[in-house]
Amino acid sequence: MVPESAFQTYIFYFSETFPLCASAKAPFKSMKIHEYQGKQLFRKAGVPVLEGHVATTADEAAAAYDKLGGSIAVVKAQIHAGGRGKGTIIDNPEQRGVVLVKSADEARAAANGLLGKTLVTIQTGEEGKVVNQVFVEAGCDIARELYLGIVVDREAARPVLMVSTEGGVEIEKVAEETPELIFKEHFDPAVGLEAFQVRKLCKKLGIEGAAAKAAFKFMPAICRFFVDYDCAMAEINPLVITGSGEMIALDAKITFDDNALYRHKDLLEFRDLSEEEPSEVRASDAGLSYVKLEGNIGCLVNGAGLAMSTMDIIKYHGGKPANFLDVGGGANAQQVTEAFRILLSDPNCKGVLVNIFGGIARCTTIASALIEASKTVGFTVPLVVRLEGTEVEEGRKMLAESDVNVINATDITDAAKKIVAAAAG
């Protein structure tokens, strides 16, 4: 799995280490939006951005250039990943994801080279992402390029604003090679970024004069935006200072905490399902907490903590989880059946571990759901089941008397060893 940003707030601890504020040990779900959508929200929040228009055809891109009325513009591929400027189209390595254009014809040609094509960047992985739309944005007089990002630092239990002089480059590389060039300020979400903190950051960034005056408006505004919209991450790379000292967001990479979307129903219209993992969308529609990973052992567990422990112990015994899946405490037969459909639709899945601790969900309920799922879906890979908790003996008996081909496990360690062996065989 490829990190969304150097400043992601979550890690999948068993295979990758994502730097800086990656202190949470559970898959953190968030809704991403495109750059042009983020800039719509920035403008509404008082964060300065340039004029631009989204286009889904080459002719629309040419018309957008004419509408901007300037001598230069930039055509940007719109995908849910960073590193687009250095990204390349799979079938045309000369085609970059961000193109400077000086005429409507050039804008049309750039859009033709991007739309419907697969763009590969440092954050997409080798498979890349298909470009369905481009953003044609006005040019500006760039004097300096900076980096700005905000995430929630879970150890400090506060948002943290991070800035760097190394804007416009791969911030992942900066974080790895020269972390001393990244400056941080934690802020109270109820108060926002305070004036003394802006002064500190301006001094570290070497910002003065008109640019410093702009920073006193820009930095608190983006921090308010982060809190008001319940963001998981807000990243601007580059944040530019113009020749006249203006501070402008030349990029907008924003994700929102899924758990807070009930407060922002208007944001749901920005969701682009074509950019999301289909199995994760399917699971969400079924009320399941699911994240697709790259391993070969499917996991069906009730409770996020137990799910993470299950993934931990699978990795400890030499296996690699294919997913995070929490069916929740109130899982029913329909949800368990759908969970198995999702797990088994992954061609990499060579075995499934069901690890249930019956509390709210009784073991008999889960056993019944497993039996029904086997009739509906049909288990084509080894299935290891560990049941514990309320009505566990009854649940085990139900499975033993059924036609379901189950490998029983006595505890979580036994279950992990058995599924790793079964998946390898």
Structure tokens at 356: 């249930």
Structure tokens at 118: 């697969």
Residues ≥6 apart with Cβ < 8 Å to 70: 138, 139
Give yes or no for a contact between 304 and 329, defined as CB atoms under 8 angstroms apart: no
Q: State the binding site for substrate.
A: 302, 359-361
Catalytic residue, candidates 10, 147, 229, 290: 147
Structure tokens at 224: 């308010």
Q: State the binding site for Mg(2+).
A: 237, 251
Q: State the binding site.
A: 76, 83-85, 137, 140, 145, 237, 251, 302, 359-361
DSSP of 111-138: HHHHTTSEEE-TTT-TT-EE---EEEEE
- How many angstroms separate the CA atoms of 108 and 62, rounded? 5
Show the CA angle centred on residue 41, arms to residues 38 and 43, nearest 5°.
110
Does the annotation count 16 as an active-site position?
Answer: no
Q: Show the 3-state SS of 299-364.
A: EEECCHHHHHHHHHHHHHCCCCECEEEECCCCCCHHHHHHHHHHHHCCCCCCEEEEEEEECCCCHH
The answer to whether the peptide bond before residue 238 is cis (omega within 30 degrees of 0) is yes
Catalytic residue, candidates 235, 338, 388, 391: 235
Q: State the binding site for ATP.
A: 76, 83-85, 137, 140, 145
- How many angstroms separate the CA atoms of 277 and 368, rounded? 29
Place of tokens 């990973």: 293
Residue 257: closest CA among 267, 244, 242 = 267
- How many angstroms separate the CA atoms of 166 and 183, rounded? 11
- How many angstroms separate the CA atoms of 131 and 126, rounded? 15
**How many other C-beta atoms can be found within 10 angstroms of the C-beta atom of residue 13?**
17
Does the annotation count 235 as an active-site position?
Answer: yes
Place of tokens 């750059």: 35
CA 139 to chain centre: 29
Catalytic residues: 147, 235
